[in-house]
Structure 1
């Protein structure tokens, strides 16, 4: 292989999902189902046009995926646990017990494996959460925080790995704690977050989290209302706090399962507030389907937020893997396509499936405070290739992507 790629190239016979093209009227291509077909033209290392196909379209070009919500510190621990299974509280307790045997080597091995799985699945951008508050000192970063920083520094060029500190809303109710935590997170280039689940002091904790993030210049990420019990109201409190404070940074709320409990009128009111505040919501189907709605028999409720209603209100809804093979979800894979496939079945995300790709690409990057990457105008390193004729094919086959750079090198041989 050559060490460098040509500045200009032509990739014959490709399909590009229309949802991943910002300016279809200028980019060109012939409509083919939910894709545009043609020869992909690259100039100065970027995709600039689709011209009439000189070969039968047989490959799918996508921008690389974004994983907006995952827990690399916890992944791949389930096989050393005994008798695990139950709701959220059981999982929290079991994972806390396992944490007692974590070492730097253990975290590096497991988190490194999880990160490599995401990269192999076609991800270039990842946000991982790290439990914060194990020590009473808000400036004491957990061991996993530094290990993940090392993995970030060792990752291939172009890979973005964000770390979000997962504190507790009741701890953040102490403004001095919130500010000290935010300063420490800011020093290491992280994201500030909090777990909100019915704590008595949650409202004060949410407001302090916003204030501390504003002072430190941090993005925000909340685990909120991860349950189907009545009375969970953290999501609306977060929207109200964002509007009250005028917070301008990106805010992502994960889970929001309890929105299923609200009346249609309540859900519409909350969705409208989220849209006005510019807050994104991450649905996390694998973990929440496993944990939520448990009873003595077969569950009859889906552990999902109201994806359709939020989208209809203009909320940016994205999809995350969440937990993989740990106490919270004993199965799963670090693969955004698998997450989208599961969400399509669980939440009735109907065809054309290409229209849902922004939930793991452009919309997911926006939720993380990053500029969306569409195929038109993208650098070669931001694109990947699938041997497939449709988005349906890649959702059903779990086909492995090939970086576009590798494909172009192969065509030079």
Structure 2
């Protein structure tokens, strides 16, 4: 299947609202989803991400707002009439049907010509590399195989939009990692607009080209994975997307973020003098300093609380005058002698480059 066979659809969400009693599941959500993008909607439980996906699919009636797909208003359009493909967490395969019959079902229900059904089903089976199990019942397949069949069924009638509701959540870690790559490859091959709902940050960051972070029914930030990770717009986004060190200070007359003790945390913040700010520094942005600090680097003494082995890296948790700090240090930087120096109770020096610190106004 080539990308030219599907015309991907842009989606516009305008002022979406959905209330359940006093709870605002969606609170004036507006968002543009480009055609052909792989967009991940990410957030904790209760953030509104599943409600948003259900509204897109037509399974939830909105209290206010509009959804447009390729400029067409979806108000009143039933889920089966929207032309979307759906992949659910539980796959929803028909256990009494063979794999080939499961994939063919959307085409049969649309009364597609029998010869065309056979050709499309064959193509889908080849794409998900399951041609050899075409005649088996769905119940005979592993979880990973069922996930691929559910994806093939969603793609077989060439929808412009694919909605994925935590499709990998029920799988073990190793299989999830394998299928992430497969999903991304399928997206790139078919060219549809993919919209994934997940609470798994790693899943979203590894597959999507756009991340939508939600909180309390609102969109907190939209951007590329690199943008939301490196330049979070709020403390919530900074701490939700992986580990993050937050150092608080006030902007001085030179534009630097400084602690009460005069430690320079960040330089050239872009904020006016007197503004309170929070520096967001990822654990990989801290390093162990054993000699003199490098140019444009600040250093703080910290007491090691714990040390976690993480394969190629060691995660060191410390208490310090600027708060609790996490440093992710490559094992190549920690020799046998240094391991003794970074055990719990030891005092270390942690440094960071002040010119590259992202500052959030608090």
Structure with greater strand percent: 2
TM-score surpassing 0.5? no
Higher percent of residues as helix: 1
- Who wins on radius of gyration, i.e. which is larger? 2
TM-score normalised according to structure 1 size: 0.27
Report the TM-score when normalising by structure 2: 0.30
Larger relative contact order (Cα-Cα within 8 Å, sequence gap ≥ 6): 1
